[in-house]
Amino acid sequence: MEEKKDPQLMRYTFRRTLEEIAECEGRGTELITLYVPEGRSIPDVVNYLKNEYAQASNIKSRVTRNNVMGTLESLMNKVRQFKQPPPHGVAFFVGAKAIGADKTKDVSYVIEPPEPLNTYMYRCDSHFILDPLLSMIHEPELWGLIVIDRKEVTMGWLRGKAIQVLRNKESQVPSKHGMGGQSAHRFERLIEHAAHDFFVRCGDMATELFLPHKDDIKGILVGGPGATKDFFIKENFLQYELQKKVVEPLFDVGYTNEYGLRELVTKASNTLHGLEITEEKKLIQRLLTEVKKSNNPLATYGEGPTVKALDAGAVELLLVSEGLKNKDLVESLFKGASEHGATVRMISTESEEGEMLVKAFGGLAAILRYPFQSMV
């Protein structure tokens, strides 16, 4: 059974691979980019490449012609390895990059992206085309979405940048106007009773949709027009484990349908980014507090001491900068953390604290379970 990779490690490896690809420069148009989305016929793609191969025979420069035709042969062989594109599609980057002194080196990358490709693309150029993949660099965190008022509720997922509608339900709560003969107080009680029942059903719906995924959900975003959303959360209509996942503050949005979910995500974008950065800052501050202790600090940093502490089972939390360039080291750290029960947290370089982890600690540090002195 294939070992499931840590999502943070997958994101890191994906980003580093894109950086490697971006550094490739070819002579003329000898680097070929091919994006094949899910559902595209592999035989059709191969036939397209055969046609390009025939056209390449007309390139005037003998060296460029031979390189392009050789690259196309290699690319067709790689494409033929797939009976059909993977669920998110597949990207191919094949060609000969310049390495100086009028020499080239063959390069080949086949990437199954973390999010769906939405376009078919074939391009010959002096560099590889990465734009469709660059927006996928960040880990596609999972967020629950709820937009609600007394008339309607819609729930969905936010995964990366993709919004998925899960359920929409109208309340059938009667309007406060136009009922005529009934007494105002009795009518008001009927409305409140119907609204309460609707909120209970909304809570049950959230339990059905979100609770099975509670360990994967980063948080739950709640929005809507007016005060209904605040009442829904304040009165604890959500199951208690889901209630703890609700992100504060709640968000004012004008709609409670699919468009409302999109408006909710737009309004919450700054908050989500801020939450991530705030969490990272707390971890680095915790590290600094321990490092400053003169006696038995529960922290270490730098490659040598950190690796020794990890191998000894002394590491509780491993802090690895996303700016660390050594892929083999990072993969080894994740493996060691898994073997010794340590938690790994990748730290971005977007905050002052994230930059400090790189500049002051070499991009690698650890919070320890117990004091550990490495002989380095």
Strand partners, 252: 224
Q: Examine domains 142-275 and 293-368 and report if their fold is the same.
A: no
CATH of domain 142-275: 3.30.420.60
CATH of domain 293-368: 3.30.1330.30
Q: How far apart are CA 233 and CA 288, in angstroms?
A: 37
Strand partners, 319: 345, 365
Asked if residue 357 lies in contact with residue 321, where contact means CB atoms within 8 angstroms, the answer is yes
Q: Please report, for the chain, the start and end positions of each structural domain, with discontinuous segments joined by +.
A: 7-134, 142-275, 293-368
Q: How far apart are CA 72 and CA 43, in angstroms?
A: 15
A 10 A CB-CB count for 54 gives 11
Rg of the chain taking only CA atoms, in angstroms: 27
Predicted pLDDT of residue 139: 57
Q: Name the percent of the chain lying above pLDDT 90.
A: 58
Question: Average per-residue pLDDT in the chain?
Answer: 88
DSSP conformational letter for 211: G
Reference 148, options 200, 217, 212, 208; nearest CA is 200
Q: Is pLDDT above 50 for 1? A: no
Chain-centre distance of CA 45, in angstroms?
A: 29
A 10 A CB-CB count for 168 gives 16
Please give the structure tokens belonging to residue 278: 């705030």
* E-only strand ranges, 29-89: 31-36
Q: What's at 56, amino acid-wise?
A: A
Q: What's at 271, amino acid-wise?
A: T
pLDDT in tens, 290-330: 999 888 899 999 999 999 999 999 999 999 998 888 889 99
Q: Is the whole model's pTM more than 0.85, yes or no?
A: no
Q: Is pLDDT above 50 for 125? A: yes
Pick the CATH number of 7-134 from 2.80.10.50, 1.20.58.1180, 3.30.960.10, 3.60.20.10: 3.30.960.10
Q: Is pLDDT above 70 for 138? A: no
